[in-house]
């Protein structure tokens, strides 16, 4: 929600002062979180009724001030975080407040909007326009750079050829990573080293390569500061995670198209329910919906906000915090016939050989850490990032595995 958030009534149900409050909050819902976190109360329950009869409820246990131990939203809206104060001065009061809010938001729900990032909208729009041009290229040219050609999982995936949870996804896409030569593999080298290598580019659209790497340079700077803000929010030093990224972080960009289809029995999923393998995922998309995030076992629609990135957490944060942070599951429903969803995802990943063992957490966070593994024993999280991300790539692209990853004896 943007603009003025007008609340016709706000009832403070349980406080140590038994008071009633009438307020108006500007801008977006995250300011309610910040407001509550500053109240000098040991327990707060808040209900709000919006004047258009749309309803949401906030409930927070303030076991330690100013931390919000638990925050539940029943309004269909994700938190909106403004990183601008942290980018300006991470050690200011406003920068610290952002870090605190980020840590809580990454604990629950683990999915949020990020604004104030400073990336010009023109750059986002230019990349989106070139992405649309890519999908208009002749089919033969896109097929010439098919991902099955690449042991590094780079290139074009034909509509319906990627799989999530063993089922086909109704999207086509191009996968891009760091531009580097392929590794000459030794007999004892781990398989995930094969992820390093060159990209495949369409010959008639050289602008795509230029636009992608220009956009990556801007977003990777913001992503690194977000990483540092989370370190501070988790009670660590500003540079605590820096060594996980250097040298040679293994970022990935995925440009995807979701064609419209009728939602009826037997049709393919747009993108099946899953979590990401790395650190942060930044999503930019057109205004066609379909993305859903799982919260409390319920799938919630994520409606895009112009100028803001959608951000979610990957499995490396989950294992590093012993489950205090979660890799939130998400999926995409296909748009209706006649529409198409275009999304551009930047996966902020560490270097391939980075190891994420549980980090020391403040006691107030450690008490909420329920274990770093996924509940499904058939879906383990590996502490070495390269091994963890190769796990997911292999599941998604069995054709690449068949062509380039023979069973080792």
Three-state SS at 342:
strand
Shared domain check, 126 and 38: no
Ranges of beta strands (E only) in 69-208 are: 71-73, 80-82, 111-115, 155-157, 163-164, 167-168, 172-176
12 has pLDDT over 60: no
- 80-82 and 111-115 strand pairing: parallel
Cβ contacts of residue 11 below 8 Å, gap of 6+? 20, 21, 46, 47
Are residues 230 and 163 part of one domain?
A: yes
Contacts of residue 188, Cβ cutoff 8 Å, sequence gap at least 6:
none
Give pLDDT tens digits for 312-325: 999 999 999 999 99
Contact 208, 201 (CB under 8 A): yes
Average pLDDT over residues 92-111: 95
CATH code of the domain covering residue 205: 2.60.120.330
Average pLDDT over residues 238-255: 96
Task: Based on the fold, state whether residues 137 and 278 are members of the same structural domain.
Answer: yes
CB-CB neighbours of 42 under 10 Å: 13
State mean pLDDT over 397-405. 96
pLDDT of 78 reads: 87
> How far apart are the C-alpha atoms of 270 and 337, rounded to whole Å?
13
Asked whether the beta carbons of 253 and 213 are under 8 A apart, the reply is: no
Q: Inform me whether the pLDDT recorded for 352 exceeds 60.
A: yes
* Mean per-residue pLDDT, 117-133: 96
Q: Strand pairing of 330-332 and 291-295?
A: antiparallel
Q: Kindly state whether residues 157 and 248 are assigned to the same domain.
A: yes
pLDDT at residue 406, rounded to an integer: 86
With cut-offs at 50, 70 and 90, classify the pLDDT of residue 409. Answer: low
pLDDT confidence of 27, banded at 50, 70, 90? Answer: very low
One domain, residues 159 and 308:
yes
> In 10 A of CB 406, how many CB atoms?
8
> How many Cβ atoms are within 10 Å of 197's Cβ, its own excluded?
19
Q: Is the pLDDT of residue 3 over 50?
A: no
The full DSSP string for 174-237 is: EEE----PPP---TTS-GGGGG-S-----TT-THHHHHHHHHHHHHHHHHHHHHHHHHHHTT--
Regarding whether 155 and 7 lie in a shared domain, the answer is no
Domain range for 22 is 1-77
Between 253 and 35, residue with greater pLDDT = 253
Q: Which range among 33-42, 233-242, 268-277 has the greatest average pLDDT?
A: 233-242
Cα distance from N-terminal residue to C-terminal residue, the chain: 55
Strand order in the sheet with 291-295: 271-274, 330-332, 291-295, 298-301
Q: Are 318 and 326 in contact (CB under 8 A)?
A: yes
Residue-level pLDDT at 54: 31
Tokens of 376: 């499904």
Read off the tokens for 67.
Answer: 């931390």
* Residue 111 lies inside a defined structural domain of this protein: no
Structural domain includes residue 185: yes
- 274 and 391 housed in the same domain: yes
**Residue 240: both structure tokens together:** 């605590």
**Are residues 130 and 64 located together in one domain of the fold?**
no
pLDDT confidence of residue 44: 33
Q: In sequence order, what are the residues at sequence separation of 6 or more whose Cβ sits closer than 8 angstroms to the Cβ of residue 283?
A: 291, 309, 310, 311, 312, 343, 344, 345
Q: Describe the crossing of helices 30-37 and 93-107 by its angle, rounded to 10 degrees.
A: 110
**Phi/psi at 318 (5° precision):** -65, -45
Answer yes or no: is 104 within a domain: no
**3-class DSSP state of 323:** coil
Q: What integer best gives the mean pLDDT of the chain? A: 83
Q: For 173-221, how does the pLDDT look when each residue is reduced to its tens digit (9 = 90+)?
A: 999 999 999 999 998 999 999 999 999 999 999 999 999 999 999 999 9
- Let me know whether 174 and 296 are in one domain: yes
Does 97 map to a domain?
no
Tell me whether residue 293 is in a domain.
yes
Q: Are residues 46 and 148 in the same domain?
A: no
> Over 90: is that where the pLDDT of 16 sits?
no
Phi/psi of residue 383, nearest 5 degrees = -75, -25
Q: Is residue 327 part of a domain?
A: yes
pLDDT at 351 (0 to 100): 97
Q: Compute CA distances 284 → 132, 176, 219, 229, 254, whole Å.
A: 13, 16, 11, 21, 11
Q: Are residues 134 and 276 in the same domain?
A: yes
Range name among 84-88, 142-146, 371-375 with the lowest pLDDT average: 371-375
Element (H, E) at 301: strand 298-301
Q: Would 86 be classed as within a structural domain?
A: no
**DSSP 8-state code for residue 250:** -
> What's the gap between Cα 319 and its chain centre?
16
Backbone φ/ψ region at 27: left (φ over 0), alpha (ψ -120 to 50), beta? left
How large is the average pLDDT for residues 161-176? 95
Position 268 scores a pLDDT of: 82
For a pLDDT cut of 70, what percent of the chain falls above it? Answer: 81
User: For 268-284, what is each residue's pLDDT tens digit?
Assistant: 899 999 999 999 999 99
- Of 42, 1, 59, whose CA–CA distance to 25 is shortest? 1
364 and 301 within one domain: yes
| Number of domain units in the chain | 2
Look at strands 330-332 and 298-301 and give their pairing. Answer: unpaired
Residue 152 predicted with pLDDT over 70: yes
Residue 350's pLDDT is: 97
Decide if 53 is inside a domain: yes
Q: What is the pTM of this model?
A: 0.82
């Amino acid at each position: 929600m943007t603009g003025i958030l007008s609340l016709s009534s706000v009832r403070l149900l349980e406080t140590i002062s038994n008071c009633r409050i009438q307020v108006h909050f500007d801008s977006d819902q995250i300011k309610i979180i910040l407001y509550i976190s500053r109240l000098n109360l040991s327990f707060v329950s808040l209900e709000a009724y919006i004047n258009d009869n749309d309803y949401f409820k906030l409930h927070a246990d303030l076991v330690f001030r100013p931390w919000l131990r638990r925050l539940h939203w029943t309004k269909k809206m994700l938190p909106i975080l403004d990183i601008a104060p942290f980018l300006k001065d991470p050690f200011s009061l406003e920068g610290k407040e952002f870090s605190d809010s980020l840590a809580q938001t990454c604990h629950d729900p683990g999915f949020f909007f990020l604004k104030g990032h400073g990336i010009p909208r023109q750059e986002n729009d230019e990349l989106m326009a070139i992405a649309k041009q890519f999908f208009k290229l002749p089919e033969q040219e896109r097929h010439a750079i098919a991902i099955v050609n690449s042991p590094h999982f780079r290139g074009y995936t034909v509509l319906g050829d990627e799989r999530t949870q063993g089922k086909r996804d109704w999207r086509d896409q191009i996968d891009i990573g760091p531009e580097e030569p392929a590794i000459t593999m030794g007999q004892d080298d781990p398989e995930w080293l094969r992820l390093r290598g060159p990209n495949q580019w369409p010959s008639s659209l050289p602008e795509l390569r230029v636009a992608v790497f220009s956009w990556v340079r801007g977003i990777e700077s913001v992503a690194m500061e977000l990483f540092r803000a989370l370190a501070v929010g988790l009670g660590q030093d500003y540079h605590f995670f820096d060594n996980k990224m250097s040298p040679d972080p293994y970022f990935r960009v995925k440009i995807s198209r979701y064609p419209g289809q009728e939602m009826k029995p037997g049709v393919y999923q747009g993108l099946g329910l899953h979590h990401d393998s790395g650190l942060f995922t930044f999503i930019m998309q057109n205004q066609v919906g379909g993305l859903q995030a799982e919260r409390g076992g319920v799938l919630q629609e994520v409606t895009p906000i112009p100028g803001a990135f959608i951000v979610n957490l990957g499995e490396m944060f989950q294992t590093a915090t012993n489950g205090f942070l979660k890799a939130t599951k998400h999926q995409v429903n296909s748009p209706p016939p006649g529409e198409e969803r275009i999304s551009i995802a930047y996966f902020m990943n560490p270097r391939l050989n980075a190891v994420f063992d549980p980090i020391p957490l403040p006691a107030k966070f450690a008490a909420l850490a329920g274990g770093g593994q996924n509940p499904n024993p058939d879906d383990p999280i590996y502490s070495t990032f390269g091994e963890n991300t190769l796990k997911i790539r292999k599941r998604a692209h069995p054709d690449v595995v068949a062509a380039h990853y023979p069973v080792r004896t």
